[in-house]
């Protein structure tokens, strides 16, 4: 919040909100005072620990089946007390990373429970009668109400997480006997269904989505390496062939006239979004930063990776769009970054339809993207060259960034560019910090006018996204 806006707001509202504002101020969060990286470093360390704690407290709460990952503990307005295959897989991915780096045995057991619960959902009867059933009850049975189904990114993200876990575990028998059949089920489902319309990750649009195809491609890339490790040439060839078809389709989402990647094709049902812009593109790119599939197989091949020209262009378009539509983003103090939402036309306010808001997941995703971009540039042997496609990204840091301009690797100008990108990444994180609750709680959204939290409290994915971003900041992005 900008101070003048807070003051206006302060005079309008109730005491509970007032106390929240005062808490913010007493912690020295007043506008215009750059916190400096040390302050942010301290916060990051504390917040990572809080977020991990919240994630664990949202897993297997009393009365639920072991391995149940609640999307949030909120049971009414909104009721998020379910497990979504997508959310759970993303959260479990963060836990695999934490387990892999800390070897905490409690995380090991949580992950084994996760696998068991998920295998149960693969086999239980659902309305979808397919692996794209999006959400499950706390006892592991399929949700039986009306819903947008199938959602085919779910099995893909789950297969990716299972495959990451297979690398982190030392029990190879478990991997072979338990994980392998589960992974093949999901991957074979992708091979059969990748081109069929399904609901997007926001559960609103039935169509073919860039995001969904990207997570499928990643899972299949991991799957190729995995099946080769079993000398299983048949699965490997099958997955490799599908990757080729998916890649060809993915290329067609680029819009040369708009200079960004469009979210959806073949819309059958759901919102018509005239802009075609969606943060899902950034989430899709962010999963291509770590070194998944082991050291032998890299997904950092430039194919819609964070540093690729088309992703850079799309990021610039999204930032510009959210910068203009949210009142909160007007007259931002210099230490804050633009609050980012899901897509410009969004009307879901966390409870019902009115006006969409910025989210924590999506604002954190920008921090993650920017740090991933830096890591990718550093890993390149070459200079950075501005062209007609990526120019909107570079021009934010350098008004002289015209097509043809070259940042010579390791030159002062190059280093300055990377430092500017890092400072910008930290500003998005400062925005998350500014709008979180004083005790580190992160809901789903924060209000587009006031900045106060809104929607499901302590959304598990919000905390996972925060950790994902801070890991990239630490130079250890999630695989």
Ligand X SMILES: *[C@@H]1O[C@H](CO)[C@@H](O)[C@H](O)[C@H]1NC(C)=O
Contact between 440 and ligand X by CB under 6 A: the answer reads yes
With respect to ligand X, which residue has the nearer C-beta, 72 or 83? 72
Contact between 437 and ligand X by CB under 6 A: the answer reads yes
CA gyration radius, the chain: 22
CB of 348 to ligand X, least distance (A): 22
Catalytic annotation, residues = 200, 203
With respect to ligand X, which residue has the nearer C-beta, 4 or 57? 57
Phi, psi of 401 (to 5 degrees): -75, 85
Name the DSSP class of 349. Answer: -
CB of 442 to ligand X, least distance (A): 8
108, 144 Cβ separation under 8 angstroms: no
Contact between 439 and ligand X by CB under 6 A: the answer reads yes
209, 270 Cβ separation under 8 angstroms: no
Question: How many CA atoms lie within 13 Å of 370's alpha carbon, on the beta-carbon side?
Answer: 27
**Pairing mode of beta strands 135-136, 83-84:** antiparallel
With respect to ligand X, which residue has the nearer C-beta, 141 or 441? 441
The alpha helices in 3-104, defined as continuous H runs, are 3-10, 15-26, 36-57, 85-102
Subset of residues 153 to 192 that bind ligand X, contact rule: CB under 6 A: none
CB of 413 to ligand X, least distance (A): 43
Distance CA 118, CA 272 (A): 33
End-to-end CA distance of the chain: 34
Torsional sign, CA 468, 470, 473, 474: negative
Distance CA 347, CA 328 (A): 16
Judged by CB under 6 A, which of 31, 40, 52, 54 binds ligand X? 54
Phi, psi of 152 (to 5 degrees): -90, 5
Contact between 20 and ligand X by CB under 6 A: the answer reads no
With respect to ligand X, which residue has the nearer C-beta, 43 or 370? 43
- Give the binding range for ligand X (CB under 6 A) out of 108-116, 130-138, 342-350, 438-446: 438-446
- Give the binding range for ligand X (CB under 6 A) out of 133-141, 368-376, 395-403, 432-440: 432-440
Contact between 441 and ligand X by CB under 6 A: the answer reads yes
With respect to ligand X, which residue has the nearer C-beta, 51 or 126? 51
CB of 46 to ligand X, least distance (A): 11
Subset of residues 34 to 53 that bind ligand X, contact rule: CB under 6 A: 50
CB of 346 to ligand X, least distance (A): 26
- Give the binding range for ligand X (CB under 6 A) out of 192-200, 238-246, 400-408, 437-445: 437-445
Q: 176: how many CB neighbours lie within 10 A of its CB?
A: 12
CB of 440 to ligand X, least distance (A): 5
Subset of residues 276 to 315 that bind ligand X, contact rule: CB under 6 A: none
Burial degree of 20 (CB within 10 A; 0-12, 13-18, 19+): middle
Distance CA 433, CA 427 (A): 10
Instruction: Report the interface residues with ligand X, using CB under 6 A.
Output: 50, 54, 437, 439-441
């Amino acid at each position: 919040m900008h101070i003048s806006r807070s003051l206006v707001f302060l005079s309008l509202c109730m005491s509970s909100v007032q106390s929240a504002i005062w808490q913010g101020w007493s912690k020295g969060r007043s506008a215009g005072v750059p916190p400096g990286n040390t302050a942010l470093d301290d916060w990051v360390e504390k917040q990572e620990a809080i977020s991990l704690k919240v994630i664990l407290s949202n897993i297997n709460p009393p009365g639920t089946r072991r391995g149940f990952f609640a999307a949030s503990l909120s049971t009414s307005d909104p009721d998020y007390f379910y497990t979504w295959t997508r959310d759970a897989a993303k959260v479990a991915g963060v836990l695999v990373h934490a387990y892999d780096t800390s070897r905490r045995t409690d995380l090991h057991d949580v992950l084994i429970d996760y696998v068991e619960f998920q295998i149960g959902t693969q086999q239980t009867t659902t309305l979808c009668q397919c692996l794209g059933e999006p959400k499950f009850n706390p006892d592991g049975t399929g949700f039986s109400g009306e819903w947008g189904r199938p959602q085919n990114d779910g099995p893909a993200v789950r297969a990716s997480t299972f495959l990451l876990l297979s690398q982190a575990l030392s029990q190879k028998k478990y991997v072979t006997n338990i994980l392998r059949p589960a992974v093949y089920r999901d991957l074979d489902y992708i091979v059969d269904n990748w081109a069929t319309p399904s609901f997007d990750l926001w559960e609103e649009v039935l169509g073919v989505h860039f995001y969904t195809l990207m997570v499928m491609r990643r899972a299949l890339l991991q799957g190729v390496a995995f099946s080769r490790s079993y000398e299983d040439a048949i699965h490997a060839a099958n997955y490799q062939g599908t990757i080729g078809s998916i890649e060809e389709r993915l290329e067609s989402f680029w819009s040369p006239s708009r200079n960004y990647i469009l979210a959806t094709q073949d819309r059958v049902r759901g919102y018509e979004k005239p802009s075609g812009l969606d943060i899902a593109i950034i989430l899709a790119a962010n999963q291509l930063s770590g070194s998944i599939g082991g050291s032998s197989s890299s997904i950092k091949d430039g194919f819609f990776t964070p540093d690729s020209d088309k992703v850079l262009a799309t990021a610039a378009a999204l930032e510009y769009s959210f910068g203009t539509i949210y009142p909160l983003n007007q007259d931002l103090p210099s230490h804050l970054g633009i609050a980012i939402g899901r897509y410009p036309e969004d009307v879901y306010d966390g409870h019902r339809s009115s006006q969409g808001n910025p989210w924590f997941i999506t604002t954190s995703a920008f921090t993650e993207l920017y740090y991933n971009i830096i890591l990718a540039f550093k890993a390149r042997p070459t200079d950075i060259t501005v062209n007609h496609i990526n120019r909107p990204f570079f021009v934010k840091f350098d008004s002289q960034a015209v097509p043809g301009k070259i940042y010579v690797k390791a030159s002062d100008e190059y280093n300055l560019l990377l430092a500017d990108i890092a400072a910008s990444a930290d500003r998005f994180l400062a925005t998350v910090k500014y709008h979180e609750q004083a005790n580190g709680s992160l809901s789903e959204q924060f209000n587009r006018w006031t900045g106060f939290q809104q929607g499901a409290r302590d959304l598990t994915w919000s905390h996972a996204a925060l950790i994902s971003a801070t890991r990239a900041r630490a130079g250890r992005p999630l695989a």
